[in-house]
Amino acid sequence: MNTSQWFTEQLPNAETAFSLKIKNRLHEEQSAFQHIEIYSTHGFGNLMVIDGCTMVSTRDNFFYHEMMSHVGLFTHPNPKKVWIIGGGDCGTLKEVLKHSTVEHAVQIDIDERVTRLAEIYFPELCESNNDPRADLKFIDGIKWVKDAAPNSVDIIIIDSTDPVGPAEGLFGENFYKDCYRCLADDGILIQQSESALLHLTLIKEMRQAMTHSGLTHQQTVFFPQCIYPSGWWSATLASKQAFMPFREQDIINKEFNTEYYNEDIHKAALAQPEFFKKAFQNK
């Protein structure tokens, strides 16, 4: 935060920056794992920042949470058991539990303070925390997956921070091998996969690690995310077998509200930019 009351996240390697004009800082603490700040902004409501990086804002979080959850759940034929690794702000959990097919959703975040602060400053994201199908665990997600039984889950959503610090291991081959073992035969992994514009090398390495783990079928989807680097984000789906066509009619007839996601958005998100297609030719 500078003297003109702007919070700015700089990306020196990309020579870019993103700023929001703020009213004041609502909270700041060093948890056991990371530095957490909450700001009140003029145009984007409340803003959570972790280790200097923008994480979630009141105004635009729905892009990310809806795309991280509904694309995968409407691609799976009948998702009943879902794990969310990370996701401490609880927005993805809220979207997952909108699906009546889901019987059990476990959210595993190593830092309980993220959730407790979200309950205070982003209560709208935590509306489903007391749903009887929800199970919040504040433990190491990598260990959770390593210790879990084979073929025990339909959907694994990796709702992580950037691949540094506590989240670094969530992008590695060993972790994906454990996910492969835990997923049912028709199971789907959904990994937040950064910006294709700024982090294409990371996406290549991540998809290669997925392939080596046995998750050989992959699909990257794209969506806007204003507060993240470049304003254009992605999620990558991976599975053991070819994806079934997404359940378009179920999306049309869904019995819950979304702000961004619908059947047309799902179709559009599957379109691959030309530079991205070329990067993965013969891969």
- Ordered DSSP codes for 143-162: HHHHHSPTT-EEEEEEE--S
The answer on pLDDT for 168 being more than 80 is: no
- Give the model's pLDDT for residue 166: 54
Under the banding of pLDDT at 50, 70 and 90, the label for residue 1 is: low
Describe the strand order of the beta sheet including 134-137 as a list of residue ranges.
134-137, 104-108, 81-86, 153-159, 183-192, 232-239, 217-224
Options 109, 154, 159, 178, the catalytic residue:
159
- Give the model's pLDDT for residue 172: 83
Report the distance separating Cα 210 and Cα 174, nearest Å.
Answer: 9
Phi, psi dihedrals of residue 204, rounded to the nearest 5°: -60, -45
Instruction: Say whether 250 is catalytic.
Output: no
The answer on pLDDT for 163 being more than 90 is: no
The answer on pLDDT for 283 being more than 80 is: no
Residue 213's CB is within 10 A of a number of other CB atoms, namely 21
- Give the model's pLDDT for residue 165: 57
Max Cα-Cα span within the chain: 54
- Give the model's pLDDT for residue 130: 97
What are the extents of the domains in the chain?
Answer: 6-57, 61-247+259-269
Under the banding of pLDDT at 50, 70 and 90, the label for residue 76 is: very high
The CATH number of the structural domain formed by 6-57 is: 2.30.140.10
Report the distance separating Cα 159 and Cα 170, nearest Å.
Answer: 10
Residues 6+ apart with CB under 8 A from 70: 95, 251, 258, 261, 266
In the chain, the percentage of residues whose pLDDT exceeds 70 is 94
- Range 61-247+259-269: architecture per CATH: 3-Layer(aba) Sandwich (3.40)
- Give the model's pLDDT for residue 281: 78
Average the pLDDT over each of 30-34, 132-136, 158-162, 191-195 and give the range with the smallest value. Answer: 158-162
pLDDT tens digits, residue range 92-109? 999 999 999 999 999 999
Q: Are strands 81-86 and 153-159 parallel, antiparallel or unpaired?
A: parallel
